Amino acid sequence: MGEELEAVDPQERFQEFFKTEKYRQRISQMAVAGRTSLIADFEDLLIFDQRLAEELRERPDEHLKHACNAAYAQLQTEDPEYAERMAEKEEAVTVRIVRLLETAQLRKLGSDHIGKLVMVEGIIVRSTPVRPMVMRAAFKCKRCGEVTLIDQTGQFLKAPFACKNPSCVGAKRLFDFVQEESTFIDSQELRMQERPEDLPPGQLPRALHVKLVGSEIVDVARPGDHVSIVGIIRAVSSTLPGVGKLRTFMLHVETNSIEVLGKEPEITLPSPEDEEKILELAKDPWIHRKIINSIAPSIYGYDHIKEAIMYLLFGGVPKSLPDITIRGEMNALLVGDPGTAKSQLLLYVTRIAPRGLYTSGRGTTAAGLTAAVLREKGGGMSLEAGALVLADKGIACIDEIDKMRPEDRVAIHEAMEQHTVSVAKGGIVATLNARTAVLAAANPALGRYEPHRTIADNISLPVTILSRFDLIFVLRDVPNKELDDKMSEHILEIHRKGLSPVEPPIASELLRKYISYAKGIKPVLTEEALRRLKDFYLAMRSASESEGSPVAITARQLESLVRTAEARARVALRKEIMAEDAEAAISIMKRSLEEVGIDVTSYKFDIDILMTGKPKSVRDKLQTALSTLIEMERDTGMVDKISLLNELEAKYKIPIDEGERLLGQLLREGTIYEPQGGYVKKT
């Protein structure tokens, strides 16, 4: 009986499928778009002929060929002229299947999938530039000049065995590859990884190698993009020279189609029951307090930090003006003594955020925090996305940010304000999106936080990075009898019972949904709220003006205030930013400024002094030291410290010991570095 079923020619069945209205239309549009691909929805095929669809999934090599031939045959009927033109150029129609009904999980791919058509979803972490690949290679005989064409498959370029010319008899195979007479096709390789939000808690992401061949599918996705790929799973083993092939094989996917998916995490709307719960919660006048109390309940105290985390989770509204865009995501930094639960808070945020990613300053991959151009094993370069790109539209929790790589120190400036990461290296030029909120933690440079020193002295991060944080908090571990008493009781209670002594008012599952829901709201400033923010800003500006300090708080802080107020309105699911939101934003900003050692009541503060910890005269001297260094670098590359100090004394009358302090400051800021002992160089 099975024989009879076999008798149906698959190619004919495919052609019947392409004769349906939808596909006739798609085929006739191919010429207009100048395309050679025909997109076919798997679901359509399944409805048309379930058996054929299943065959295609099980034996894609054979059936895709039938499908492509059928599509070309149908093109000959729909648009004979275009079919003719394609034939002249030796082009074929490629049928590209999209949206299989089920996605295969990256971490479940195995030997069962080899040779099968599967759909996988994930995030692109690495890509090579588009490279031409030879499809048909032309070889010219060195003896008689005859050209032989060889169709290429496999990894290596294959030369002919013998010359095609019968009168040319030579024992040696000597050929030249002729590029102009060979045909090439665009190819690219990608590395795809499980999305941060799909990752089982505490697991490292798995990756899959992706091969793309064909000008219509290369260069579609960039690192950081979320994609859905349909393709055939292949297994190859690598060859060890002189030994043979390895018995274990590596999996990769040979791409048939690739689609870039929307980047919004959890686009799925909450169920009606969940929505009801969310709306009910939002009515509570104490909703802000309730959420703060639900954040990391096992961690004692730190209410103001939990409040800041709440704002960070909800975020402000990004503004895209015709000429510029302003980020909506907030950045917060926790600087603190060892053992003050910074890492715990960060890990908690990773779990609760709709898309959260935890990494250390050094990064967990070669790409670090931003991006890197890497040299591949087989030669050639590839671009790899770092943590901030992978967490696009989510929250990146960066622990020990002060220990980040020097390359990231440069690139993170752009990432944290413009929300892009630009790369131009090794022939790769790209700009990747990094619309990421950052929650970072750092230890004080001197081991413990020294309250009488400025924040810039306390942490080894340059001022330019510090100023990109909307809020900075200091966590100090100072003995305090009353607090220690309560806290130890709290911690010991956790250890005794194995669960939190305080039940969160909102369960984390619901809180996560609540955040996703709130992110759809775009609150706007009311007159009243706007006036409060403006008054506060102007009061501080004028206070520093009368002091005669050169730079007061900057427009950055004003934008931070707006973001915080927006986030607070979102928490209550309000479309309007009220005076109370503005007040709360002002008060947490004041708290943050106070924490870093500023007397807020007198309004006398100067972000410049706060961040750099030095009055104008010192800044001028630093500038002098730096420009002298740059001047001297022109002659010698790197500069001997001793000669720099002598120069500063001779030319600008800066005493040696002061010069040494200035260099120390520049070193700590990362403006200059020591390429080798006794020498300095500008970063």
| Contact status, residue 99 vs residue 119, Cβ threshold 8 Å | yes
Of the candidate residues 179, 239, 271, 344, the single one contacting ligand ATP (CB under 6 A): 344
Please tell me the distance from the alpha carbon of residue 14 to that of residue 70, in angstroms, as a whole number: 6
CB of 294 to ligand ATP, least distance (A): 15
Please tell me the distance from the alpha carbon of residue 597 to that of residue 399, in angstroms, as a whole number: 23
Residue 383 binds what, of ligand ATP, Mg ion, Zn ion, none (CB under 5 to 8 Å, by partner type)? none
Q: Does 343 bind ligand ATP (CB under 6 A)?
A: yes
Residue 339 binds what, of Zn ion, ligand ATP, Mg ion, none (CB under 5 to 8 Å, by partner type)? ligand ATP
| Contact status, residue 663 vs residue 672, Cβ threshold 8 Å | yes
Of the candidate residues 487, 600, 626, 667, the single one contacting ligand ATP (CB under 6 A): 487
* H/E stretch holding 55: helix 50-58
How many residues lie near ligand ATP (CB under 6 A)?
14
Question: For residues 255-294, which are near ligand ATP according to CB under 6 A?
Answer: none
SS3 (DSSP) at 226: strand
Of the candidate residues 11, 28, 343, 624, the single one contacting Mg ion (CB under 5 A): 343
| Contact status, residue 101 vs residue 243, Cβ threshold 8 Å | no
Site string for Zn ion, 89-128 (x = CB under 5 A): ----------------------------------------
Q: Does 143 bind Zn ion (CB under 5 A)?
A: yes
Q: Looking at beta carbons only, is 86 or 332 nearer to ligand ATP?
A: 332
DSSP strand pairing (250-260 vs 420-425): unpaired
| Contact status, residue 323 vs residue 372, Cβ threshold 8 Å | no
Of the candidate residues 41, 44, 55, 146, the single one contacting Zn ion (CB under 5 A): 146
Q: Looking at beta carbons only, is 244 or 339 nearer to ligand ATP?
A: 339
| Contact status, residue 331 vs residue 470, Cβ threshold 8 Å | yes
Please tell me the distance from the alpha carbon of residue 510 to that of residue 273, in angstroms, as a whole number: 11
Please identify, among the stretches 42-50, 201-209, 343-351, 634-642, the one whose residues bind Mg ion according to the rule CB under 5 A: 343-351
- Distance between start and end Cα atoms, the chain: 77
Q: Does 383 bind Zn ion (CB under 5 A)?
A: no
CB of 404 to ligand ATP, least distance (A): 15
Q: Does 488 bind ligand ATP (CB under 6 A)?
A: no
Q: Does 165 bind Zn ion (CB under 5 A)?
A: yes
CB of 154 to Zn ion, least distance (A): 25
Tokens 């083993």 label which residue? Answer: 237
CA distances from 478 to 481, 490, 624 (A): 10, 17, 39
SS3 (DSSP) at 651: helix
Please identify, among the stretches 341-349, 376-384, 493-501, 549-557, the one whose residues bind Mg ion according to the rule CB under 5 A: 341-349
Please tell me the distance from the alpha carbon of residue 393 to that of residue 474, in angstroms, as a whole number: 27
Please tell me the distance from the alpha carbon of residue 89 to that of residue 85, in angstroms, as a whole number: 7
Residue 487 binds what, of Zn ion, Mg ion, ligand ATP, none (CB under 5 to 8 Å, by partner type)? ligand ATP
| Contact status, residue 449 vs residue 336, Cβ threshold 8 Å | yes
Please tell me the distance from the alpha carbon of residue 460 to that of residue 440, in angstroms, as a whole number: 13
CB of 501 to ligand ATP, least distance (A): 10
Residues that bind ligand ATP (CB under 6 A): 299-301, 336, 338-344, 443, 487, 491
Residues that bind Zn ion (CB under 5 A): 141, 143-144, 146, 163, 165, 168
